[in-house]
């Protein structure tokens, strides 16, 4: 019983990472992927970024939940757009 509550406490302390996925439009090659990954990784709180060229899926891992607007701005900065 104590093990379960200890785990819950650990999770509630915020040590668990947040993951959010988005779809990026307009990427056509590895350079596009690098540009998006670089810009998004500079967003405050983001600890890991994964971009899949084939599907356009952008997976963002962060310590704190990150605003969609911040990701949107970073993707735009790279020259692409988030799908709605
Ligand atoms: Cu490209």
Q: Is residue 51 part of a domain?
A: yes
Query: Is residue 1 predicted with pLDDT exceeding 70?
Result: no
Q: Report residue 50 as tokens.
A: 């994964």
Q: What is residue 38's predicted lDDT score, i.e. its pLDDT? A: 98
Instruction: Count structural domains, the chain.
Output: 1
Provide the domain limits for residue 33.
17-82
Tell how far the Cα of 39 is from the centroid of ligand 1, in angstroms.
14
User: Residue 4's pLDDT is what?
Assistant: 59
How far does the centroid of ligand 1 lie from the alpha carbon of residue 10, in Å?
A: 41
Q: Give the Å distance between the CA of 31 and the centre of ligand 1.
A: 4
Q: What is the pLDDT of residues 8-67, one digit of tens each?
A: 545 555 556 899 999 999 999 999 999 999 999 999 999 999 999 999 999 999 998 999
Asked whether residue 32 is assigned to any structural domain, the reply reads yes
Query: What token pair was written down for 71?
Result: 């990701």
**12 domain residue, yes or no:** no
- In the reported structure, the alpha carbon of residue 36 is separated from the centroid of ligand 1 by a whole-number distance in angstroms of 10
| 66 domain-assigned | yes
Residue 84 pLDDT class (50, 70, 90 cuts): confident
Per DSSP, the chain holds a count of helices (H) and strands (E) of 3, 4
Q: What is the pLDDT of residue 3?
A: 59
CATH number, position 40: 3.30.70.100
Instruction: Read off the pTM.
Output: 0.80
Is 1 inside a domain boundary? no
10 lies in a domain? no
For the sheet with 46-51, list strands across it.
Answer: 46-51, 57-62, 18-25, 81-82
Distance 44 CA to ligand 1 centre (A): 25
């Amino acid at each position: 019983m104590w093990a379960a509550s200890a785990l819950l406490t650990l999770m509630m302390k915020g040590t668990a990472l947040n993951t959010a996925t988005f779809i990026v439009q307009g990427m056509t090659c590895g350079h596009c992927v690098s540009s998006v990954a670089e810009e998004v990784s500079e967003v405050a709180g983001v600890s890991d970024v994964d971009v899949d060229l084939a599907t356009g899926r952008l997976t963002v891992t962060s310590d704190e939940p990150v605003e969609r607007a911040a990701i949107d701005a970073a993707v735009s900065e790279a020259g692409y757009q988030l799908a709605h």
